Amino acid sequence: MKKKILAMLITAVMAVSLAACGGGEGSGTESDSFIYGMAGEITDFDPFSSGGTANSRYITFNIFEGLVKVSTDGTVKPAVAQNVDVNEDATVYTFTLRDGVKFHNGSEVTMDDVLYSVQKAVDAGLAGYNEIASFEAADEKTLVVTLNKTDAGFLDYFTQAVIPADSDDNGEMLLAPIGTGPYMFGEYEVAQQVTLKKFDEYWGEGGSIDEIVVKFLSDQNAQLTSFQSGAIDGFGGYGEMGEQINEENATITQTLSNMSQVLALNNAVEPFDDVRVRQAVALAVDSHDVLDTINYGIGQVVGSPVPPALTKYYMPELEDQYAKDNDAALELLKDAGYPDGFSFTVRVPSNYPVHVHCAEKIVSQLAEVGIDMKIEQVDWGTWLEKVYKGRDYEATLISVDGATISPTAFLARYVSDSKSNFMNFKSDVYDEAYAEALSATDEASQVEAFKAVQQILADECPGVFIEDIGSLTVYTKQFEGYNSYPLTAMDFTAVHKAE
Amino acid sequence: MKYFLRKTLILVLTVFLISVFTFIAFHIIPGDPAGLILGTNATEEQLEALREQLGTNRPLSEQYSSWISGFVKGDFGSSIRYRMPVSALLKGRLPVTLALGLISLAIILLLGIPLGILAARMRGTWVEKVIHFLTILGISVPNFFLCILLMWIFGMVLHFFTPGEYISYTKNLPGFFRSLFWPAISIAIPQTAILTKYIRTAMLEELGEDYVRTARGKGAGETWILYLHVLKNAIVAVVPLIGMIVASVLSGSIIIEQVYGIPGMGKLLIGAVTSRDFPLTQTLVIYITVLIVITNFLVDIAIQLIDPRIRLSGKS
């Protein structure tokens, strides 16, 4: 009797589990589709919502194109426009539309569509569009845009999407986007995944994979598990995930995330209102150690908010302006009246494990000079409201990205009265230098001026610029091909089957 | 009849109170839905325009009253985060969570009851000791850790299933049940352990009762006593537990759906709270509340069916 019951139980359990594992195989990779796992989700495809969040740009980069589009080296190249003429003092931009560019709905792009799209961007108050004095069609193929003032870098803003005229009057683009890009929108399953289909009538050289599926996963652990189990073909993550991937069955591409991680100090609260204290913190933090131990050396130490990808403006000499030096830090703390150090709380967004782990490392580095840093994790909604908008914090750890590849996208927030100056940084010298850089008429002097701006920022030290965190793009061995851009983007046209 | 009226009244009152609690919780936690949608690059003008469009610039009390007046008419409002009607979001998700819950419940009952009986029958032997050890383990190991353990052993090492893969019921029904099986196991294990422990204790208690001795004295066989008398009485003692188990299964599914990436109500609820989506959170919380209250109601009826001595009266 005993044995019977036991045997029955075991059989029952085995039967159920066998039934459950019957279909484990055969559902993996189909030959003509690529499944990409993204940490987080996107909730709309709106091309006019301030450039969207980094996640939505990942996907919309493939659906939409502007008159020009970003190329891998950070410059812009013609897209919907075939040709651009800029007058001598960079105030009038003349675009000639390309022939035969089609929208995903099959209709050809006309001047009406372009005018409608520019007007949408102006109405949405997107960065740069307030500089436009007028825009008009000279003829069916020629668009003339006149600016209020000289701006040699204005072309960057025209990467903004061109959409069919009258197609977004009631926000239709939110959930059913139509663009001219190499991939067209297929299906959106809320909080689950997005399917993109290859656009066969694309004007340029399109992708080679017929169908792209972007799966929304909860976090980097889910990305790793799904990749190792074969549920996804590729994913993008941070350098700290590198050690957990078996390189034998994965192709890993290392790039930079194109934003500087900063230990942001609230310059309006004690003791960070004293520049000596901020410099002391910068000297006590060992960026190289953070990079090596938390991100396994994948990434690059920086000394400015401008990431290395903006090669023209990047200043390598700032990387070690505050090289680890405990003695100098202690000296500065003594001068500032904190010979025994002090304590403060760093509010870290809990949805970014990479920042949480870096904060843990920094705690021990600061302890060496008697500074006691406590970590408080807050959820992303709280961070945005309390820290970023409310500026109610002592210190925080974050990487701030730029909406465009212009240096202004990274430096504008440090101007004293900027609404996004969440570090409460105040410096008249900086404000003057920044205004001067904006009014430079030729490129060489603009580059010089923006370098001067960065030097002032480094000296005044609003926070500790630590590293441009390395990012990893990981594929299974069946796939290869990755294009790196100086802004957040995933170019699915580069992905192809491995030989 | 009076009983049903009273129960319905309690249901309505519970739902109302829960909705007020959710409302108060939203009042306390910081966070701006528009800011969460637009991110760090948004200007104040864009934020204001979006708040106007979403209606989140109104005082929360006004948002609550407009939500609840719609709710009583069957209109759950629109999700702030996903920009679509809440009912459209729920439509595909309710069956997923219900299926997950029912599979878990089936596993709990099919394993918990026989194991409990076995432990009681085999008291004092190594079988009981093994079951006892397993139940303690099942109760103590946290849900999410169990998930990771199962994924690793049965997913990565033994390749019984593909962690992170979910098959929609609209595309492949057997595949759908397969992809829910391991998540259901993760939810079921702690509850199975609890049920096993209860059944064993209840059975042993009943075995010491006078009527068992009487039955033995009358020459009834041990198996006969066990299944006809003891089990029946033990089950009555355990049925109220089912109500609690269902509540735990639902709350467990919130975490498990997140870990396994299953698009049910639990995963949606986490997304709704982190994005401060008031109408969506309210509706989901109400749904879960109603499910739990109704289950307890059914449990009451089941107890009466098993043991007619217990009368359904409004008094508790």
For the domain that residue B205 is a member of, what is the CATH number? 1.10.3720.10
| Cβ A410 vs Cβ A283: under 8 Å | no
Pairwise pLDDT comparison (A268 vs B123), residue with the higher score = A268
Residue B298 belongs to a domain: no
Do B65 and B91 fall into the same domain? no
Between CA A382 and CA A386 the distance in angstroms is 6
Question: Is residue A379 helix, strand or coil?
Answer: coil
Check A382 against B258: CB less than 8 A apart: no
Do B38 and B125 fall into the same domain? no
* pLDDT mean over A103-130: 89
Asked whether residue B61 carries a pLDDT value surpassing 60, the answer given is yes
Mean pLDDT estimate for chain A = 87
Mean pLDDT estimate for chain B = 85
| Nearest residue of B to residue A39, measured between CA atoms | B261
Check A13 against B111: CB less than 8 A apart: yes
Residue B207 belongs to a domain: yes
Interface check for A37 against chain B (CB to CB < 8 A): the answer is yes
Between CA B117 and CA B113 the distance in angstroms is 6
Q: What is the pLDDT of residues B100-126, one digit of tens each?
A: 999 999 999 999 988 998 898 888 899
Residue B209 belongs to a domain: yes
| Residue among A19, A217, A388 minimizing CB distance to B261 | A217
| Residue among B41, B223, B263 minimizing CB distance to A50 | B41
| Cβ A69 vs Cβ A77: under 8 Å | yes
* pLDDT mean over B198-225: 83
The encoded tokens of residue A467 equal: 């590293």
Q: What is the pTM of this model?
A: 0.82
Do B93 and B14 fall into the same domain? no
The answer for B 149-208 residues in CB contact with A (under 8 A) is: 151, 154-156, 159-167, 174-175, 178, 181-182
Model confidence band, residue B309 (pLDDT cutoffs 50, 70, 90): confident
Model confidence band, residue A80 (pLDDT cutoffs 50, 70, 90): very high
* pLDDT mean over B259-286: 88
Do B63 and B130 fall into the same domain? no
Asked whether residue A73 carries a pLDDT value surpassing 50, the answer given is yes
CA within 13 Å, CB half, B77: 24
| Cβ A481 vs Cβ A493: under 8 Å | no
Asked whether residue A306 carries a pLDDT value surpassing 80, the answer given is yes
Do B239 and B172 fall into the same domain? yes
Do B263 and B163 fall into the same domain? yes
Residue B256 belongs to a domain: yes
Total structural domains within chain B: 2
Do B124 and B224 fall into the same domain? yes
Q: What is the DSSP string of B236-291?
A: HHHHHHHHHHHHHHHHHHHHHHHHHT--SHHHHHHHHHHTT-HHHHHHHHHHHHHH
Which residues in chain A have Cβ-Cβ distances shorter than 8 Å to B89? 190
| Cβ A271 vs Cβ A336: under 8 Å | yes
The alpha-carbon gap from B161 to the nearest alpha carbon of chain A, in Å, equals 5
| Cβ A36 vs Cβ A214: under 8 Å | yes
Model confidence band, residue A19 (pLDDT cutoffs 50, 70, 90): very low
| Cβ A355 vs Cβ A362: under 8 Å | no
The alpha-carbon gap from B41 to the nearest alpha carbon of chain A, in Å, equals 6
The encoded tokens of residue B69 equal: 């007046």
The answer for A 414-473 residues in CB contact with B (under 8 A) is: 419-420
Is the ipTM reported for this complex over the cut 0.85? no
Pairwise pLDDT comparison (B34 vs A332), residue with the higher score = A332
User: Could you tell me how many CB contacts below 8 A there are between chain A and chain B?
Assistant: 162
Closest alpha carbon to A302 in A376, A209, A403, A410: A410
Residue B305 belongs to a domain: no
Given B28, B44, B72, the domain boundary residue is: B72
Residue B309 belongs to a domain: no
Asked whether residue A53 carries a pLDDT value surpassing 80, the answer given is no
* pLDDT mean over A470-489: 88
Q: Are strands A463-476 and A250-265 parallel, antiparallel or unpaired?
A: antiparallel
Do B119 and B31 fall into the same domain? no
Q: Quote the pLDDT of residue A29.
A: 43
Do B50 and B94 fall into the same domain? no
* pLDDT mean over A85-97: 89
Do B57 and B120 fall into the same domain? no
| Nearest residue of B to residue A51, measured between CA atoms | B41
Pairwise pLDDT comparison (A278 vs A157), residue with the higher score = A278
| Helix ranges, A285-400 (H) | 287-294, 326-335, 353-367, 380-382
Which residues in chain B have Cβ-Cβ distances shorter than 8 Å to A390? 30
Asked whether residue B222 carries a pLDDT value surpassing 70, the answer given is yes
Check A44 against B122: CB less than 8 A apart: no
Residue B215 belongs to a domain: yes
Do B105 and B168 fall into the same domain? yes
Which residues in chain B have Cβ-Cβ distances shorter than 8 Å to A229? 151, 155-156, 162-165
The alpha-carbon gap from B298 to the nearest alpha carbon of chain A, in Å, equals 28
Q: What is the DSSP string of B100-161?
A: HHHHHHHHHHHHHHHHHHHHHHTTTSHHHHHHHHHHHHHHHS-HHHHHHHHIIIIIIIS-SS
DSSP secondary structure code for residue A109 in this structure: P
| Cβ A424 vs Cβ A266: under 8 Å | yes
Q: What angle do CA B139, B144, B146 make, to 5 degrees?
A: 55
B67 lies in which domain range? 2-72
Residue B315 belongs to a domain: no
Do B141 and B246 fall into the same domain? yes
Check A218 against B261: CB less than 8 A apart: yes
